[in-house]
């Protein structure tokens, strides 16, 4: 047997009480607001994680660019030292030459530890991203647009070109025209 609290209550039909309906509406409204706040919180947390990653990458990139700038300033010194070795006068003390070669090698290793890499040029296809053409040479030995000589070595630091290589590019020999005397 079930007992009712208010057996004579006339409002106990199928209709909910207005206060109950109002509370259920308020609960649904609060649940929607909670879901929206959770969603906003998750988005903000993801945005903050992305910001931290971007900030770390920006900091690393700034450090790399700073070292690339310093390396770029040291490259002419390296070129000059190599030129001294390439044009050493006759009768120079060989121990002095060996010492200079060792110094050049140490400088190259130190710059290489910071990501400096020479750009391959001779025998490669001309690439305007890493080569700067300063002339052409007629050649039947090399395909057209192949680098045949390097006038100045080019370098990159990681994926960034610090200095393009100055090169001469092969082109096919000019065909004699009919009007040229043979």
More confident residue, 124 or 14: 124
**Alpha helices per DSSP H over the chain:** 18-86, 94-113
Report whether 118 contacts 154 (CB < 8 A). Answer: yes
Report whether 137 contacts 91 (CB < 8 A). Answer: no
Task: Grade residue 1 by pLDDT with cuts at 50, 70 and 90.
Answer: low
pLDDT reported for residue 64: 74
Q: Is the pTM of this model over 0.75?
A: no
Separation of alpha carbons 140 and 55, rounded Å: 53
Token code pair at residue 47:
């945005």
Q: Strand pairing partners for 132? A: 166
pLDDT reported for residue 10: 53
Structural domains in the chain, CATH included, are 118-175 (2.30.22.10)
- ∠ CA 76-78-83, rounded to 5°: 90
Task: Grade residue 122 by pLDDT with cuts at 50, 70 and 90.
Answer: very high
């Amino acid at each position: 047997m079930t007992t009712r609290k208010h057996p004579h209550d006339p409002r106990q039909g199928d209709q909910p009480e207005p206060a109950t309906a109002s509370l259920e509406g308020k609960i649904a409204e609060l649940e929607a607001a909670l879901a929206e706040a959770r969603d906003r919180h998750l988005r903000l947390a993801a945005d903050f994680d992305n910001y931290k990653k971007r900030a770390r990458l920006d900091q690393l990139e700034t450090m790399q660019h700073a070292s690339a700038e310093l390396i770029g300033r040291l490259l002419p010194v390296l070129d000059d030292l190599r030129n001294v070795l390439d044009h050493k006068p006759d009768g120079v003390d060989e121990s002095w030459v060996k010492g200079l070669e060792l110094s050049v090698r140490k400088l190259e290793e130190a710059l290489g530890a910071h990501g400096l890499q020479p750009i391959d040029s001779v025998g490669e296809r001309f690439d305007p991203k890493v080569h700067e053409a300063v002339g052409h040479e007629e050649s039947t030995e090399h395909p057209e647009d192949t680098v045949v000589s390097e006038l100045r070595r080019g370098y990159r630091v990681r994926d960034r070109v610090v200095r393009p290589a100055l090169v001469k590019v092969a082109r096919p020999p000019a065909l004699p025209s009919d009007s040229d005397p043979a």
